[in-house]
């Protein structure tokens, strides 16, 4: 099973909302796996065994709009859409919410569009959509918002959001998308009261 976390390479993008897929994979490795990353020409990866399953975690290094190129890099391993779970930012979901989907359209997300295209239009790969929408997102263009960094209050929520996403990922891998959707699509990490 392959877990793609989407983002943009480079220090200037490191902590941006659009890189929440990268940040999620970094959280998993630092908290649970603690293994060295390996570098290929178009992606960074690490591997771990979780509940008897071998998972390969991949951060494409081709920029978001070309995320699907990693699929071509993995063709020799005969990766099928059903072998892939993609974690990525969703500006339509509020920060603190995640949503599991077993497949479907890209919803306008260029990284997902690129992966669907790389699978010749097959969209049957599971997704963990991690909400990034906040109040300031209503007042600036979406492109600027997703490429902006999280506020300090938002950053404080990320570990809890990533822990919720991690539990959803484990459920996806071990019990399938239906159970994961039923268990996690209605849940959210709450912001502390002001």
For the annotated catalytic residues, the residue numbers are: 18
Q: What is the CA radius of gyration of the chain?
A: 16
Residue 64 near residue 18, CB atoms below 8 Å = yes
Q: What angle do CA 111, 29, 91 make, to 5 degrees?
A: 30
CA–CA distance, 63 with 83 (Å, rounded to integer): 22
Closest to 188 (Cα-Cα) out of 153, 160, 152, 167 = 160
Closest to 140 (Cα-Cα) out of 70, 79, 91, 87 = 91
What SS3 state is found at 168?
A: helix
CA–CA distance, 115 with 162 (Å, rounded to integer): 23
């Amino acid at each position: 099973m392959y877990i793609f976390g989407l983002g943009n390479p480079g220090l200037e993008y490191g902590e941006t909302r659009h890189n929440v897929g990268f940040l999620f994979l970094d959280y998993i490795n630092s908290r649970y796996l603690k293994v060295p990353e390996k570098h290929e020409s178009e992606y960074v990866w690490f591997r771990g065994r979780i509940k008897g399953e071998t998972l390969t975690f991949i951060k494409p290094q081709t920029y978001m709009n070309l995320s699907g190129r990693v699929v071509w890099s993995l063709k020799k391993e005969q990766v099928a859409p059903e072998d892939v779970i993609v974690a990525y930012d969703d500006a339509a979901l509020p920060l603190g919410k995640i949503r599991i989907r077993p497949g479907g359209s890209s919803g306008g997300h260029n990284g997902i569009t690129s992966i669907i295209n790389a699978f010749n239009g097959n969209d049957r790969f599971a997704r963990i959509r991690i909400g990034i929408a906040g109040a300031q997102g209503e007042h600036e263009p979406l492109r600027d918002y997703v490429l902006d960094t999280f506020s300090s209050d938002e950053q404080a929520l990320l570990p809890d959001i990533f822990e919720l996403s991690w539990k959803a990922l484990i459920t996806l891998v071990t019990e399938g998308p239906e159970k994961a959707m039923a268990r996690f699509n209605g849940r959210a990490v709450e912001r502390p009261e002001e």
